[in-house]
Amino acid sequence: MIVPLFRSSDQTQLTNFSGDIMGWPVDLSLRNIDSPIRSKHLNLTCIVVALLLVPPEYHRKGNGNRTAAKEQQIHNRDVLSNRFKLVFHPLDALCNTVKLMLCAEGPIRQCYPVNCAWTADYLDNIHLHSVKQPHCPVCGEPKSSLGDGNSSLWQLRVNWLYFQKMILRTQGDETERRDERQYLQDRVVGTSEGNFWNMKCIPQTAIIVPDILHTVNLAMLERFMNRVTSFLKRHSRIDKLDMLWVAMPPYAGFTRFNLPYSEVMPWSSREMKALGSVIVPVFAVTLLNFLGSQMIPFTEAQLFVKT
């Protein structure tokens, strides 16, 4: 029986005044658990298998310290890569062998644990898979071409080939090493090895699952609100939105905003979630008392916000 494993990670700031220490928790769950059940912490469907501490940043400034800061960044990436290998080495050894496991209903079955998904935000993914910003960790498509409908023109990343090229760039004559370095540069591959490039138990591009909150929902909501605010500015209604924004009282599950909408920067995930729950009624009240010439555009705008 195949046991699909679901993993997630998110680099977290631990302290700001004691060396800017960050931690990288790695969680483990089973893929065949429904998301509503997995989302409840009391169900204990997710366990922390590792808490990787990220070394603090190099804060000294000056022309002579740029090289030291670069060396420290490379050292930090190597430390994290080695820790990931240490954590997943036992699972990598079970990739082609069977593991006897006690199932929930009682019997012991022959199981094959397989990592089928890894949820992380964009910044975590480019560090895990050694990709330079602002490119896609799944394919070689640059950020400038995202959304143009030509994604099929870009090939998927072949991480095992990148691993071979990274080894070959230090061997052979100067011409061969230059060709290997150019190959990696053309595909915007980082200077260090990806954390999962040489692991059998982890599929490469198929394992990348976007963080729905930060990568999808918040990005879509931000673009949506940019269109809403531009519409309100065009009709001189943005001041009314700011007034309503701070006038909303708190209630169960909603914390009132302390600042007008146009002054909130940057937005936190909690504020964006609250925004999505109140934007429809607030937008409708903002458009009250309109002129006769504004009836059609205001009606179309309310339909746009509702959908």
- What Å distances lie between residue 5 and 111, 138, 283, CA to CA? 12, 20, 43
Q: Which of 174, 129, 131, 303 is nearest to 231 (CA)?
A: 303
43-49 average pLDDT score: 82
Mean pLDDT, residues 281-289: 87
Distance CA 51, CA 191 (A): 24
Of residues 115, 53, 118, the one with CA closest to residue 90: 115
Segment 291-306 mean pLDDT: 86
Res. 65: pLDDT tops 60: yes
3-state DSSP helix/strand/coil % of the chain, to nearest 5: 50, 15, 35
**218, HSE (Cβ side, Cα atoms, 13 Å):** 17
Task: Give the pairing type, strands 99-102 and 47-54.
Answer: unpaired
As a whole number of angstroms, the distance between CA 191 and CA 126 comes to 12
User: Which contacts qualify for 124-129: CB closer than 8 Å, 24 or more apart?
Assistant: 124/9, 124/10, 124/11, 125/208, 126/190, 127/11, 127/77, 127/80, 128/9, 128/84, 128/194, 128/195, 128/196, 129/157, 129/159, 129/194, 129/195, 129/196, 129/208
User: Of 4-8, 180-184, 220-224, 261-265, where does the model show the most confidence?
Assistant: 180-184
13-23: per-residue pLDDT in tens?
Answer: 766 655 566 77
The pLDDT of residue 55 is above 70: no
| CA 141 – CA 108 distance, rounded (Å) | 46
pTM value > 0.75: no
Tokens of 123: 């910044």
Whether residue 133 is predicted with pLDDT greater than 60 in this model: the reply is yes
Q: Between vectors from CA 193 to CA 49 and to CA 84, what angle results, nearest 5°?
A: 10
pLDDT of amino acid 62: 57
Distance between CA atoms of 169 and 192, rounded to whole angstroms? 12
Amino acid identity, position 290: F
Sign, Cα dihedral of 242, 246, 250, 253: positive
Q: What is the pLDDT of residue 259?
A: 83
Q: What is the pLDDT of residue 212?
A: 62
For residues 114 and 144, which has the higher predicted lDDT (pLDDT)? 114
Predicted pLDDT at 193: 80
